[in-house]
Amino acid sequence: MTGAGRGLGRASARRLAAEGAATILVGRGRDALETVAAEIDADGGQARVITADVSSDADVERLGAAAGRVDILVNNAAAEEQWAPITMADLGAWKNIFDVNVFAAVRLIKAFAPGMSERGYGVVVNMSSIGGSQPAPYLATYSASKAALDMVSRTAAMELAGSGVRVNSIASGITDMGKTFELLPAGLLADVGRIIPAARLGNEHDIAAAISYLCSDGASYVNGQILTVDGAMTSGQWATTTVMTASMAEG
């Protein structure tokens, strides 16, 4: 589990550990990862910590050697949007976001999928976003990176399916925790919460449960899919872009 030190990564790692997975917690901050490992250990699970920057080729190579056998890979680490109109976007920020949100997943799939293929079993879950299919003002860089990540999932699924390796994405809606929650203006969160058909933002348990499902034998024939977990936010013609534009203008 990358990005395991906080937010959805922490919650999902704890869920998988509670279900019997021996977890490897990956991230840049050792203290946060050690805290999660202690929580898992206290609950009777197994966890170990490997610090790594998944945007670094050298770090991913070291991670691959240190991790050993990996049957489930959850690419959760993500970089956030700079919140700027596309005409003002900094190209350096585009490169940085793609390096974490897209290329890191490719690096990790390259590091672990060959071993999965040799053993005839493996699961890869890439944490995506509804932004990958639903454009929104000021989110061009982030949304484009998630769209690219979804295509990585679908293509890798086709290429690896015959070997017993499954690859899927989870397109998360807006949740009540994590980096996106911290970056969004309070007024925007209130507005979005009102227009979601489920009448609430998503939470850590919603996403952790979806990850658990995709990693389970119950999803053995689910491959190359983008599983949307958003409380039906993207199911109809909701005024998301109108609300976001108005809220950002007020901010």
How large is the greatest C-alpha to C-alpha distance in the chain, in angstroms?
A: 55
* CA separation for the pair 240, 232 (Å, rounded): 12
The beta strand positions in 87-180, using DSSP E, are 122-129, 165-172
Active site residues: 142
120: left (phi over 0), alpha (psi -120 to 50) or beta: left
**Amino acid letter for position 184:** L
147, 14, 63, 142: CA torsion to nearest 10: 20
Q: Which residue has the tokens 């071993």?
A: 115
The terminus-to-terminus CA distance of the chain in angstroms comes to 35
Task: Kindly calculate the radius of gyration of the chain based on its CA atoms and give it in whole angstroms.
Answer: 18
Q: Are 130 and 171 in contact (CB under 8 A)?
A: yes
